[in-house]
Structure 1
Amino acid sequence: MKTLVISGGTSGIGEALAHTYLRRGDNVLVIGPNPEKGKKFLAVADGLGARQHAFFTRADLSLVAENERVVKEIKEQFSAIDALVLCARFFRSFRRVTSEGFEHNFALYYLSRYLLGYGLVDLLEKAPEPVIMNVAGPGVEAGRIHWGDLEMETGYDGWAAMFQGGKLNDLLGVSFARASRGYRTRYVLDFPGGTATGFAGEFEPVTAARVQEMLRYAKPVEAGIAPIVSAIDAPPAEPLSGFFEGRRLHPRHFSRHESDALRLDALTKKLLAP
C-alpha cells in the first residue's frame, strides 16, 4: 500500500490520479482550497468503499503560511510518504498579489511546490521508492524566465507567467536532484499535454475562447495520466527525469541549466527568509 499526497487533487489531473490510487486501495491525501470539492472527493471514496484511505486538507497553497501548516499537519498524520504529486495551478489573465505580497501565479505554481517538496522530503526518504511528481511544463519551448522581475510587476501577461512557472519548476527539479543533497527521492517532471479535465483560471474573453478551443482537441484524462502513474509506480533510476507527453526528455534538457538552478535556489531562499 502506498501513501500519496496530491496538491490540486480535487480537480483535473490531480483528481484523476487521486481516484486511480483510491481504487487500488492506497492512502490518498488531497489538498485543495474548496471544501465542497473536498466533500465530493470523500464521497467518491465512500462509494469505492475506501473512505478510510481518503483524506482532504483544505488550504490556499498560494500562501507560504498555508504550505507550512500543511507540511506540519502531514508530518503529524503520516510516518512516511511514497509519492508527492504537485498539480496545483491557476491561470490568471490579470496580475494578482497574495496577502503575503507574492504574485499569485509565482506563489502557487512555484513557491508552493518548492515548500512542499523540501518540507516533506524527510517523510519521502522513509519510503521504499519515494518520488516527487511535479506536473509542470518540461520540454515546452515557449516562454522565458524574467530574472529581473520574477513576479512580473511590469508587463504582466497570463501566458508568460504560466510558461515562466514551468521553467522555474524545471530549475527546481535540477536543484533538488543535485548529488550534494544526497536524497534517495526521485524527482520527475511531467508535461502531460492538453487533457480534457478543464483549465482552472480566471480569463479575459480572448483567453477564455483560446482555452475552449484547446479543450476541443484535448486527450482523455486517462491517456494524460498514464505516464504519470507509470513513473509513480516505478520511479526512474535517475535522480531527475522529465517526460513530455509520454516521451522521455534527454538529460541534457536539465543539465544545461545547473547554474540557473543554483541562482533560482538562492533567490528563493532570500525571498522566503523573512
Structure 2
Amino acid sequence: MAKTVVITGGTDGIGAALARALAARGDRAVVLGRDRERGARLVAEGNGLISFLETDLSLMSNTREAAEEIAATHQEIDGLVLCARFFQTRRTVTEEGLEHNFALFYLSRAVLGEGLAGPLGRAERAVVVNVAGPGHDTPIDWEDLQSTRDYDGVRAMFQAGRLNDLLGVDFAAKHPGIAYVLFHPGTTATGFAGDYDPATAAFIEQQKARAKPATEVTEPLLTRLDEPPRKSLSAFHLHTELDVRNGLFDPADAARLAGLGLTSSRRSERP
C-alpha cells in the first residue's frame, strides 16, 4: 500500500532527494517549502505523486495553516520528515516577533508535529523523522532561548538542535503510538540555505567540497519510514542508533520546555 509522507524543506537537498525516491517507488510526497520554481520542478518530476505547498514555516501562522490544510486533505499520514532550516549569521526577528532560527528550526517542527498528530495517529505505523543532528552537548540557555544576547549563528543553531532533542522526548511521551526518530545525516550536500558572512561562506564551501550527496541519505531515511522503531523515541546517525537514555534527553527538561507554552503563543520575543 502506498505511503503518504510530508516533507518540510523539501525543495532542495535531503528533502528533495527523499521526495524523488518516494515517488520513484510509488509513494506520495507532500513537499513544503518557499521556492515556487523548485517546487514546480519536483511536481513535474513526480508523475503525479509529488504535491507542493508553498509556505514560509518561520511564521507560526503559516505553519498552523499548512497543518490544517494537510490534515483536511489527508485522513492518514504515514510519515513526517522535518528538514527545514536556514542559517542566519546575524540575528533576525520574524514579523511575529520570534528569532528566525528558533522559529524555523525548532518551533515550526513542534507546531507542525502537533498539528499533524491526528492523521499520523490514524496510520497503521506512523513515524516522525526530525533531521536535526541529535546528541550535541551545547548547553541550553533557559533564560535566552531566542539568543537575544551575544548572538552567534552557529551556537543558535546548535541550541535549536538541543531543543529538538527535547521536542522528541515530549512528543514521544504525548503520542506513544507514533514513533519519533531524531536523525543525524552527517555532512551532506544539502542546499546549505542561509545568510552567511564571508568567513562562514568560505567554510560552507569547504563543507560542500567534502560532503556526500543527498541521495546517500535517502536509504536510511526510507528505512526509518518503512520500519519505524518500536520504541516511541529513538535517535540515529545514518544507520547507527544513538543512546537517548542520557542527560541530553532529560524528560524533566523536555517537560520544562513544553511547559513554556511556546507552541500556542502567537507573538513572543521571550524567552
- Band the TM-score falls in, shorter-chain normalisation: over 0.9
- In the TM superposition, residue 273 of structure 1 has moved relative to its aligned partner by 6.2
Give the aligned partner of residue 160 of structure 2.
165
| Amino acid of the structure 1 residue aligned with 2:88 | R
- In the TM superposition, residue 254 of structure 1 has moved relative to its aligned partner by 6.4
Q: How many residues align?
A: 266
73, 76, 80: which one pairs with 1:80? 76
Alpha carbons of 1:123 and 1:270: their partners in 2 closer, same or farther (altered >3 Å)? Answer: closer
CA distance in 2, matches of 1:217, 1:84: 28
Q: Find the residue that maps to 2:182 and give its secondary structure.
A: strand
CA distance in 1, matches of 2:236, 2:242: 5
| Amino acid of the structure 2 residue aligned with 1:251 | V
Asked whether 1:147 is paired with 2:142, we answer yes
- In the TM superposition, residue 224 of structure 1 has moved relative to its aligned partner by 2.3
CA distance in 1, matches of 2:181, 2:253: 18
TM-score (norm 2): 0.94
Q: Find the residue that maps to 2:95 and give its secondary structure.
A: coil
Deviations 1:15-37, CA, capped at 9 Å, x for gaps = 11110101111111100011111
CA distance in 2, matches of 1:236, 1:115: 23
| Amino acid of the structure 2 residue aligned with 1:192 | P
Matches of residues 198-209 of structure 1 in structure 2 within 5 Å?
198-209=191-202
- In the TM superposition, residue 183 of structure 1 has moved relative to its aligned partner by 3.2
CA distance in 1, matches of 2:81, 2:175: 21
Give the aligned partner of residue 114 of structure 2.
118
Q: Find the residue that maps to 1:168 and give its secondary structure.
A: helix
Give the aligned partner of residue 217 of structure 2.
224
Give the aligned partner of residue 53 of structure 2.
57
CA distance in 2, matches of 1:154, 1:273: 22
* C-alpha RMSD of matched pairs (Å): 1.6
Q: Find the residue that maps to 1:56 and give its secondary structure.
A: strand
**Matched-pair contact (CA < 8 Å) for 1:174–1:255:** no
62, 68, 87: which one pairs with 1:66? 62
Q: Find the residue that maps to 1:134 and give its secondary structure.
A: strand
Unpaired segments ≥5 residues, structure 1: none
- In the TM superposition, residue 137 of structure 1 has moved relative to its aligned partner by 1.3
**Matched-pair contact (CA < 8 Å) for 1:13–1:197:** yes
| Amino acid of the structure 2 residue aligned with 1:2 | K
Deviations 1:114-136, CA, capped at 9 Å, x for gaps = 00101100100111110001000
**Matched-pair contact (CA < 8 Å) for 1:170–1:254:** no
Asked whether 1:189 is paired with 2:182, we answer yes
| Amino acid of the structure 1 residue aligned with 2:38 | K
Give the aligned partner of residue 4 of structure 2.
3
**Matched-pair contact (CA < 8 Å) for 1:198–1:215:** no
**Matched-pair contact (CA < 8 Å) for 1:87–1:134:** yes
Give the aligned partner of residue 25 of structure 1.
26
CA distance in 2, matches of 1:191, 1:165: 14
Asked whether 1:16 is paired with 2:53, we answer no
- In the TM superposition, residue 247 of structure 1 has moved relative to its aligned partner by 1.4
**Which runs of 4 or more aligned residues in structure 1 lie more than 4 Å from their structure 2 counterparts after TM superposition?**
none
Unpaired segments ≥5 residues, structure 2: none
| Amino acid of the structure 1 residue aligned with 2:58 | S
Asked whether 1:259 is paired with 2:260, we answer no
Deviations 1:145-191, CA, capped at 9 Å, x for gaps = 2211110111111100110111100000001111xx35311000001
**Matched-pair contact (CA < 8 Å) for 2:132–2:182:** yes
Deviations 1:201-237, CA, capped at 9 Å, x for gaps = 0100000011111111112222223222111110011
Asked whether 1:246 is paired with 2:243, we answer no
| Amino acid of the structure 2 residue aligned with 1:176 | F
Asked whether 1:100 is paired with 2:96, we answer yes
Q: Find the residue that maps to 2:260 and give its secondary structure.
A: helix
Asked whether 1:138 is paired with 2:114, we answer no
| Amino acid of the structure 2 residue aligned with 1:95 | R
Asked whether 1:213 is paired with 2:206, we answer yes
